[in-house]
Structure 1
Amino acid sequence: MSTENPSQSTQKSAPESQSPSLLRSSLVVGIMTMLSRVLGLARDVVIAGYFGSTASADAFFVAFKIPNFLRRLFAEGAFSQAFVPVLSEYRSKRSFDEVRYLLSRVSGTLAGLLLLVTLICMLASPLLIRLFAPGFTDYPEKLLLAGEMLRITFPYLLLISLTALAGSILNSYNRFAVPAFTPVLLNLSLIGSTVFLSQWFAEPVMALAWGVVIAGVSQLLLQIPFLLQIRLLPVPRWGHQHEGVRRIMKLMVPALFGVSVSQINLLLDTVLASFLETGSVSWLYYSDRLSELPLGVFGIAIATVILPSLSRKHAEDAGDQFSRTLDWAIRLVLLIGVPAGIALFILSEPLLATLFDYGEMQNRDVIMAGMSLRAYSLGLIAFMLIKVLAPGYFARQDTKTPVKIAIIAMVANMGFNLMLVFWLKHAGLALATTLSAFLNAGLLFWGLKRSGVFVPQSGWWLFCVRLIFANLAMALLLLWMADDALWWLDATLWQRVFEMTKVVSAGLAVYSVALLIGGVRPAHFRH
């Protein structure tokens, strides 16, 4: 690729494919995410079976948590939110050669900076372990093992960040399936490394560290053929002075802070829970895992799909289409999120018993985790709305407003925590998270509506009536079918699985039929 400025090129667009509907794209991402979540659960089961809760397992989880934490903070958070709108603007307003020029500079600058960070952190791995797990200093062998594994796992940050870059390019060109499938490779790699490689190491858990590296390489390599297909495989060049790179870096600063806010909230919850009775942290973990399932499968899937679409519409000054896309996303989130939240609330103990009530898990653990799951379920719709409302700001390259709102929500969450933790214990922490999520979602919605960016389309009152009718019908059925919690606690594995399958299938069927009776059709959500 030529390094001269391509601004004089007359080639105006990249190879285009027929744009799939947002609904179909959301379903594709949702299915791939569901597959990843199921394999993630299988991964946890396999790792627990091989390594249990030993000191070596603790060492690995810390060594993996550090690059994984930075991945969430940087690659899948601030970078993607800043990069996609700029790329979409270049795609809409610049030539194809200028798009490729931008990608070469972004990839080269990103890789160069992260390579430097990776090398420094690999050398300073013992210090990082002491920072993230200060309790390890009392156990020299565990500290040493964690440091050795961190040197192996830390390059994952570089690999997964480049993978996020590739995935953002593919998403912007309506190739959603491959980036959505990519996380599956991490789970498969860790399962395979545990089963097939652990026997070859003097310290078997080292196989997991190498499994992380294998996953990072395979996830990046998977993207390459598809980038070649659209002729957008970047040729890395250092270019921090490039106009597009500087804009991305400027947008990343507030976005990075915004992502940090949510991580601070999670850290605060964990700190407060650690002062409560033994088991509180675990109860919150199990209930959070269940509430994250519909959020990850549906909320994040819709958000992933609409960000490139909204970014293009903003670049093309198509304000009415921008508003219509947001309206579509909000309706779809309500259609999915409201029944999911109701089902989690009604079936909290049955679901927890079916998934986790085995081995060392006690009946009281299920009851206590059920309390926090109900609190989380009340806020599920707010968590999902945040995911689809925030792109309304990011797509317009406004990363500051969501950060300001996130700070307000974080301060409110701290206040709610202190008010509720003494009254409701661990469930109070979950309820505080729910209340702050509603505040966050409400402020995001109000900001978009006040500025005229979002104008509700016609038919909202009728849609709400239909939604209430369908959810009421489903809730009554679930209340009738769900047995007392004691039955689920005493039942065998297969009894639980059979009964849960029956209850969930019946609830889904009644909800779908009620929507049809109310006049809702799939065609209403094609966009």
Structure 2
Amino acid sequence: MNSHTRGIARNAAVVGGATLISRILGFARDLIIAYALGAGPIADAFFVAFRLPNLMRRLFGEGSLTMAFVPVYSRIREEQGPAAAFAMARSVHVWLAIILGVVTALALVFARPLTIAIAPGFASDPAQLALTTDLVRICFPYTVFICGVALCMGILNAEGHFLTPALSPCVLNIVLIAAALSAVWLDLSVPHVLAWGVLAAGVLQWVLQQPSMLSRGFRWTGTWSFNDPGVKRTGRLMLPTVFGAAVYQINILIGTLLASLLPAGSISYLYYADRLVQFPLGVFGVAVSTAALPSLSRLAARSDMEGFREALNASLRLTLFIALPAAAGLVALSEPVVQLLFQRGAFEAEAVRATALALVAYGLGLPAFALVRPLVSAFYALEDTRMPVIAATLSVAVYVACGVAMMQGMGHVGLALATTVSSWFNTFFLMWALRRRLGQWADWHRACVAFTLLGVAIGLGAWATTGMGVWAVAFIPVWAVAYALGALAFRVPEATMMADALRRRIAR
């Protein structure tokens, strides 16, 4: 493996480690929220309100702004130096504050029709609609701060710093845990206290980035321009990526709309199942794509297409190395995992079964969810936004068609399965489009066969332990070690590289 591959793996490990901490805190957060809210109408109201600023974060933050910003920033820094890149970043920040300020003001004024638009089923329950509208007004300003965090993340990642941005979500989880517990202990309105916690967390997440920005020489005071050429280039790349980079989140939003037409609790079942899928996806899928984008952008700026292909293949192999066994484990242990994490308080056995079924449907798509991210990063590093938009448009159409058809007989599970189908479509379409752009670039097929065989083997082993109930979860480290040993036996390069890194760390 060359230096680019090792660099991606090293940075992905940093992001993955920080994200692992965040996901563990996220599980604690969801466990406490499940205890405080359960899975009924009040929980549905909070999750709908919370999903709106999260969608804005995906659309105008890390899902779009970061993808468009990093390649342009990297090219300017490569060609003109850090001062010009910093000026461009400040200019982007001014435009971001103006646009998001206007969007947030409109959302506050039109919160009620906005709520009806994303959850039309709530219109039949005036009390639930009123509660959700109040929560939307409290939560939505979070968008301004969290998109500012995404800009800071782009700057820091392009400068080679990954740890602080990756730790940022920990702040949200800690604040929401404190908010939920405070509301229960003080007998306050849990959804309202959680909504205010969301807003407070956004402010704190932005503040957390500032020391690292200063240490890299960046200051918010300095030259900037409304007409900065880098801003214009970022804007041209960003407009189509608003849709293209967030197809998974758009599917979730449409799923929320469709799920609101199903029995009460369906939105919550999908939310909790999605949160479980997001744990491994964040630890390796987001980590690899976050680490890969700056490297791919620098290689594209230098026109080093051979290095670009090798770095892209390394990113996909690293992604599949963990995605396939993680998917097998989630599918096999869906019910014990949900039962262990959530079955307490207002979250009863029926909710466990419903959430576990949704988790199985999502788990089948986990490798696709993860692969889409580095594939999309490759296109944005090449400053090509057309193909991801085409792929996203087609996959959303596939999701809507499958979702409407499958929810009739399968309910919320059909919506989760539709997300999986559309994500696999998106993955294969992007691979085909890259072949048209780069020629024969993929060399990870043999490794994929090994990962799949090993993943199926540990999945069957994990499934055989489900008769033990929640105690089956205790064997997860055993299956992880078995997978690693199997990968070493097959001489998988990713396993060898990680083993060598571990040996060096132990030696030090």
CA contact 2:176–2:197 (8 Å) conserved in 1: yes
CA contact 1:20–1:174 (8 Å) conserved in 2: no
In structure 2, what is the equivalent of residue 356 of structure 1? 342
CA contact 1:466–1:519 (8 Å) conserved in 2: no
User: 2:164 is matched by which residue type in structure 1?
Assistant: V
User: Are 2:92 and 1:106 equivalent residues in the alignment?
Assistant: yes
Are residues 483 and 21 of structure 1, via their aligned partners in 2, closer, same or farther at CA, if it must alter by over 3 Å? Answer: same
User: 2:370 is matched by which residue type in structure 1?
Assistant: M
TM-score by length of 2: 0.86
1:217-258 deviation per Cα after TM superposition (whole angstroms, max 9, x unaligned): 211111111111111233376633221111111111111122
The equivalent position to 1:505 in structure 2, one of 457, 477, 483, is 477
CA contact 2:333–2:466 (8 Å) conserved in 1: no
Deviation at 1:428, TM superposition (A): 3.4
The equivalent position to 2:55 in structure 1, one of 69, 77, 84, is 69
SS state at 1:240 partner: coil
User: Are 2:454 and 1:470 equivalent residues in the alignment?
Assistant: yes
In structure 2, what is the equivalent of residue 452 of structure 1? 438
Q: Which has the larger radius of gyration?
A: 1
In structure 2, what is the equivalent of residue 336 of structure 1? 322
Map 1:320-331; keep pairs closer than 5 Å.
320-331=306-317
Map 1:280-299; keep pairs closer than 5 Å.
280-299=266-285
The equivalent position to 1:436 in structure 2, one of 422, 426, 440, is 422
The equivalent position to 1:153 in structure 2, one of 123, 132, 139, is 139
**Using the alignment, how far apart are the partners of 1:194 and 1:347 within structure 2?**
28
User: 2:387 is matched by which residue type in structure 1?
Assistant: T
In structure 2, what is the equivalent of residue 409 of structure 1? 395
The equivalent position to 1:382 in structure 2, one of 360, 368, 391, is 368
User: 2:313 is matched by which residue type in structure 1?
Assistant: D
**Using the alignment, how far apart are the partners of 1:204 and 1:483 within structure 2?**
34
Deviation at 1:118, TM superposition (A): 3.2
In structure 1, what is the equivalent of residue 504 of structure 2? none
1:384-404 deviation per Cα after TM superposition (whole angstroms, max 9, x unaligned): 111111111011111121010
User: 2:300 is matched by which residue type in structure 1?
Assistant: H
Are residues 130 and 43 of structure 1, via their aligned partners in 2, closer, same or farther at CA, if it must alter by over 3 Å? Answer: same
**Using the alignment, how far apart are the partners of 2:128 and 2:299 within structure 1?**
52
Deviation at 1:159, TM superposition (A): 1.3
Are residues 237 and 122 of structure 1, via their aligned partners in 2, closer, same or farther at CA, if it must alter by over 3 Å? Answer: farther
The equivalent position to 1:21 in structure 2, one of 7, 18, 21, is 7
CA contact 1:357–1:363 (8 Å) conserved in 2: yes
SS state at 2:160 partner: coil
User: 2:205 is matched by which residue type in structure 1?
Assistant: Q
The equivalent position to 1:84 in structure 2, one of 70, 81, 96, is 70
CA contact 1:345–1:378 (8 Å) conserved in 2: yes
CA contact 2:64–2:241 (8 Å) conserved in 1: yes
Are residues 370 and 152 of structure 1, via their aligned partners in 2, closer, same or farther at CA, if it must alter by over 3 Å? Answer: closer
CA contact 2:358–2:412 (8 Å) conserved in 1: yes
Are residues 235 and 114 of structure 1, via their aligned partners in 2, closer, same or farther at CA, if it must alter by over 3 Å? Answer: farther
User: Are 2:156 and 1:170 equivalent residues in the alignment?
Assistant: yes
**Using the alignment, how far apart are the partners of 2:297 and 2:9 within structure 1?**
17
Deviation at 1:149, TM superposition (A): 5.2
Deviation at 1:483, TM superposition (A): 3.7
Map 1:44-443; keep pairs closer than 5 Å.
44-50=30-36, 60-125=46-111, 128-129=114-115, 131-132=117-118, 150-196=136-182, 206-235=192-221, 239-259=225-245, 261-276=247-262, 280-422=266-408, 424-443=410-429
User: 2:344 is matched by which residue type in structure 1?
Assistant: Y
Deviation at 1:161, TM superposition (A): 1.3
Deviation at 1:350, TM superposition (A): 2.4
**Using the alignment, how far apart are the partners of 2:417 and 2:36 within structure 1?**
35
**Using the alignment, how far apart are the partners of 1:60 and 1:236 within structure 2?**
40
SS state at 2:279 partner: helix
Are residues 280 and 152 of structure 1, via their aligned partners in 2, closer, same or farther at CA, if it must alter by over 3 Å? Answer: closer
**Using the alignment, how far apart are the partners of 2:121 and 2:409 within structure 1?**
30
Are residues 419 and 148 of structure 1, via their aligned partners in 2, closer, same or farther at CA, if it must alter by over 3 Å? Answer: closer
User: 1:471 is matched by which residue type in structure 2?
Assistant: G
CA contact 1:108–1:236 (8 Å) conserved in 2: no
Count of residues paired in the alignment: 496
In structure 2, what is the equivalent of residue 10 of structure 1? none
CA contact 1:327–1:454 (8 Å) conserved in 2: no
User: 1:405 is matched by which residue type in structure 2?
Assistant: A
Q: Which runs of 5+ in 1 are unaligned?
A: 1-17, 489-495
Deviation at 1:425, TM superposition (A): 4.5
- Larger deviation, residues 261-270 vs 176-185: 261-270
CA contact 2:243–2:392 (8 Å) conserved in 1: no
1:158-216 deviation per Cα after TM superposition (whole angstroms, max 9, x unaligned): 11111111111001111111000001111112223344588889867544343233212
1:330-358 deviation per Cα after TM superposition (whole angstroms, max 9, x unaligned): 11112111111122222222222222333
Are residues 359 and 306 of structure 1, via their aligned partners in 2, closer, same or farther at CA, if it must alter by over 3 Å? Answer: same
TM-score by length of 1: 0.83
**Using the alignment, how far apart are the partners of 2:380 and 2:78 within structure 1?**
17
User: 1:37 is matched by which residue type in structure 2?
Assistant: R
State the identity %. Answer: 36
Q: Which runs of 5+ in 2 are unaligned?
A: 502-508
Higher RCO by CA contacts (8 Å cutoff, separation 6 or greater): 2
1:68-121 deviation per Cα after TM superposition (whole angstroms, max 9, x unaligned): 332222112221111111111112111222112212211222223323333444
Note the aligned Cα RMSD (angstroms). Answer: 3.3
CA contact 1:107–1:237 (8 Å) conserved in 2: no
- Larger deviation, residues 235-244 vs 441-450: 235-244
User: 2:277 is matched by which residue type in structure 1?
Assistant: S
**Using the alignment, how far apart are the partners of 2:333 and 2:236 within structure 1?**
45
Are residues 51 and 76 of structure 1, via their aligned partners in 2, closer, same or farther at CA, if it must alter by over 3 Å? Answer: same
Deviation at 1:151, TM superposition (A): 4.6
